[in-house]
Amino acid sequence: MCYIYIYQIISNTLKQNKMKNLKTLLLAIILVFTFNTMNAQEPTYKIVGNEIVKTSTKSAKADPIKTELTYTIKGVVYPVYQGSKGGYFIKRVSKKSGKEYKQYLKV
């Protein structure tokens, strides 16, 4: 699909002002190569002897770290956790559904 767009730009370059469209052509080519390299992934399987071996797996999420800090809401003391990206949150339980959820704290 991108190649059709590049072909149209090339044909328009030959018909119209060459300098302006040449810049557009170069930009389009750079964008196509950029998207192709961004989408390129390492193979997840490789052949070793007579076997197919999985080479990479998604990394498991790191468990949140319980800090020494606490947060009090309406007299209830909640322990504060730190997520893998550094955000702080508390775990609360919904009154309606009974499900546990994370409430992130603005620090």
Going from N- to C-terminal start, the domains of the chain cover: 2-40, 65-104
pLDDT at 19 over 80: no
pLDDT at 36 over 70: no
| Residue 20 binned pLDDT confidence (cut-offs 50, 70, 90) | low
Q: What is the pLDDT of residues 42-78, one digit of tens each?
A: 667 778 888 888 776 666 677 888 999 999 999 999 9
Give the predicted TM-score (pTM) of the model. Answer: 0.45
| Residue 15 binned pLDDT confidence (cut-offs 50, 70, 90) | low
Most confident of 12-16, 28-32, 59-63, 89-93: 89-93
| Residue 94 CB contacts under 8 Å (≥ 6 apart), including other chains | 100, 101
**Buried residues in 46-85 as b, exposed as e (16+ CB within 10 A):** eeeeeeeeeeeeeeeeeebeeeeeeeeeeeeebebbeeee
Cβ neighbours, 10 Å, residue 1: 4
Which among 64, 60, 68 has a CA at the least distance from the CA of 91? 64
Average of per-residue pLDDT values in the chain: 79
